Amino acid sequence: MKKIILIFILLVTTATFAQNKNAKASMEVDGVCMMCKERIEKAAIRTKGVKSAVWNVDTHELKLIYDERKTDLKTISKKIAEVGHDTKEIKATDEAYNSVHPCCKYRDKDVVKDHEGEKKKNDN
């Protein structure tokens, strides 16, 4: 019986130490502009355990540094979806999506085209 308890304690201890307090990850988050960038990064950084969140407008990649002991990618995705942005894992509700500014409607093909036109003007 003592051996079983000792093995259990070792397994729990190992699992606890296996979690990284500076885990790095990235995820795809839908958005189209700098207003989206601010909203996405703010939602991520306000998630307990997230230390850094940087979203790229062109690639839609959100790079994260977070404490695995306090949060996980699913929780971060939920927080981002709550402010109206889709991730690969969680889609924002229609109510959350409809709360974003009209220029941020990334599901609307016309809005996406308008932003692509702006990028081309800025590239020239």
CA 121, 27, 72, 7 torsion: positive or negative? Answer: negative
Is residue 14 a part of any domain in this protein? no
Is residue 3 a part of any domain in this protein? no
Reply yes or no on whether the pLDDT at 115 is more than 60.
yes
List % helix, strand, coil for the chain (3-state, nearest 5). Answer: 50, 15, 35
Q: What is the CATH number of the domain that holds 53?
A: 3.30.70.100
pTM of this structure: 0.80
Is residue 1 a part of any domain in this protein? no
Residue 111's domain comprises: 19-117
Q: Which of 113 and 40 is assigned the larger pLDDT?
A: 40
What confidence tier does 121 reach under pLDDT thresholds 50, 70, 90? low
**Alpha-carbon span 24 to 8, nearest angstrom:** 29
pLDDT of residue 54: 98
What does the DSSP 8-state code read for residue 88?
A: S
Number of structural domains the chain divides into: 1
Is residue 8 a part of any domain in this protein? no
Mean pLDDT (whole number) for 48-53:
98
